Structure 1
């Protein structure tokens, strides 16, 4: 494997980015922390060209602009695996997604490796490489970063290069399906990364067990929770867990006494947000049936 650069100062980052000029593609991955916030906290960026690999420390650098200028260059294809969460981070950094994109997970599906295959499994199938899985729960905010963690992070782009080159050859031989081209393009649509409070209820497990006006209440309450999470940059579960949210939608209490009967609704939430929850429930119950979500 190429020697891995660990970039923590601005001159080194600028030198590295200057060396990327003229490349037609880059392998790209990120490490982030999202346990205590709504928005992901970017902790490490891994970039590989055909000749170089670098782990770039955004927590140490005063500016990522030299790197972002390279990543947002539309003449450079950005190669990622299961790209959505990585692209979401860049959307929050610049309000746009780098283009064009090549997602090796989507390409693997088109080539017959199955839907949503993981990176380690794909590396094993295509390259015969067994990747370590011992650092999947690392707190990437911690400094200094252990050299083993950096090696693990670098592997995420080191072998991604080889997967990409093999997939490119296979797709050139077989022809790239139009559906794959469309899927890559869809990943770059900024609308995919914009919060949509009115739609998050669909991602709640067991929402299908609700019907009629209950779904209208769930939609309204889930949107309220999303707005609170965004405003305070806190995880949704810190605002209110899915369980009591579903129970509120199922039982639709109309007073504070009824709210207090909801299992899992913290007393502090009842005290701070009880009136707002009741208002949201009442508003949803007043919606005409034709406006209820299906």
Structure 2
């Protein structure tokens, strides 16, 4: 099938006419994010059973005709590992398509493993080895070679076949409705909205700070996030995480005192010094009752730890019966949350349906397990 390379408004209009009757489309994107806060869209790949096209957003000013196709109410958009692609669509449209299908999530409930990569899934399902020669391509560069375009097209060429195959398997196994909640989360705007107030939670090492220092770190995080958004720069280009931690820990009260913070360059002090001091003062002014608190769960007792071990064994047995990788259903932390009677992914959706209910029954004394030769038996 000939790959169409669309780099003009006229070509885009013609492509949209070809896609007009589609009820589903396989979608992928190429983007660059190393030097910006927001991803820079560099290529859009789209396919159905009859068309494969690569659309050049660097050459076309108005992508709205294609977005109108994507956002039709009767359209299902098919992705593999959809979040980053959907983030780009959200930035373009300030809205999200409401019908999505993620082949990575579908593969999870069909026993192909947790967070399986596109290439591995194509190999397992279609017995095709994808070319990796252009994996490090800078997609901002033009012109793109025919080999690069063909490489990019592979991301939707086989995605449409995966969609047909995995959807059929979901129907055959009665699991077609298991992923409704997961797909709905992918289409929720709050999934992609930045929240400067909580940006400090992404700073590694924050758990080592005192609550009073966390109040300062939170204000510094708000300032850095807003600055990064305004300038469209990576957070680390504003102030690095380890410097943020030391600023919160030592809370310098003057520009001279900032010179003692390791890793804080003179140019950073010149550019951001006053704003940093203002954020530190705002953090110090936060009332104690409003200080952020890192939730550190109490260690499990020996008996609780043994109970988690038993539940992990039951999890593995139930997943083996369903031909699903246990890690795709629940981690040990998820099981620990269940033992603590806290919220856990295993209490919701398909995970609760196939495993969570059984684990809750075991905890309630309504289900027993025993050993029979070399396997567990459920009673």
* TM-score bracket for the superposition, by shorter chain length: over 0.9
CA positional deviation for 1:177: 6.2
Secondary structure at 1:61's aligned position in 2?
Answer: coil
- Deviation per CA, 1:85-111: give whole Å up to 9, x if none: 111111111110122111111112122
Quote the residue 2:151 is aligned against: 152
Q: Is the 8 A contact 1:44 1:58 kept in 2?
A: yes
CA positional deviation for 1:36: 2.0
Quote the residue 1:15 is aligned against: 14
1:132-211 maps to which residues of 2 (within 5 A)? Answer: 132-176=131-175, 178=177, 180-211=179-210
Quote the residue 1:75 is aligned against: 74
Q: Is the 8 A contact 1:108 1:117 kept in 2?
A: yes
Q: 1:245 and 2:248 equivalent?
A: no
CA positional deviation for 1:10: 1.9
CA distance in 2, matches of 1:218, 1:152: 44
Secondary structure at 1:102's aligned position in 2?
Answer: strand
- Deviation per CA, 1:97-133: give whole Å up to 9, x if none: 1221111111121222222221112212222221122
Secondary structure at 1:183's aligned position in 2?
Answer: helix
Quote the residue 2:227 is aligned against: 228
Structure 1, unmatched stretches of 5+, are none
Q: Is the 8 A contact 1:91 1:193 kept in 2?
A: yes
- Deviation per CA, 1:114-173: give whole Å up to 9, x if none: 222211122122222211223222111111012221111101111111111111011101
Return the structure number with greater relative CO, CA threshold 8 A, min gap 6.
1
- Deviation per CA, 1:19-42: give whole Å up to 9, x if none: 112212100011111222212111
Which structure has the larger Rg?
2
- Deviation per CA, 1:150-205: give whole Å up to 9, x if none: 11110111111111111101110122365511110111111222221111222222
Structure 2, unmatched stretches of 5+, are 295-379
CA positional deviation for 1:208: 2.3
Q: Is the 8 A contact 1:36 1:235 kept in 2?
A: yes
Secondary structure at 1:253's aligned position in 2?
Answer: coil
CA distance in 2, matches of 1:32, 1:123: 22
1:48-87 maps to which residues of 2 (within 5 A)? Answer: 48-87=47-86
Quote the residue 2:104 is aligned against: 105
Q: 1:273 and 2:272 equivalent?
A: yes
- Deviation per CA, 1:223-260: give whole Å up to 9, x if none: 11110011111121211111211221222222223211
Change (3 A) 1:219 1:114: farther
Q: Is the 8 A contact 1:9 1:60 kept in 2?
A: yes
CA distance in 1, matches of 2:282, 2:53: 52
Quote the residue 1:287 is aligned against: 286
Change (3 A) 1:252 1:145: same
**Farther-moved stretch of structure 1 (280-289 vs 135-144):** 280-289
Change (3 A) 1:158 1:216: same
CA distance in 2, matches of 1:203, 1:109: 26
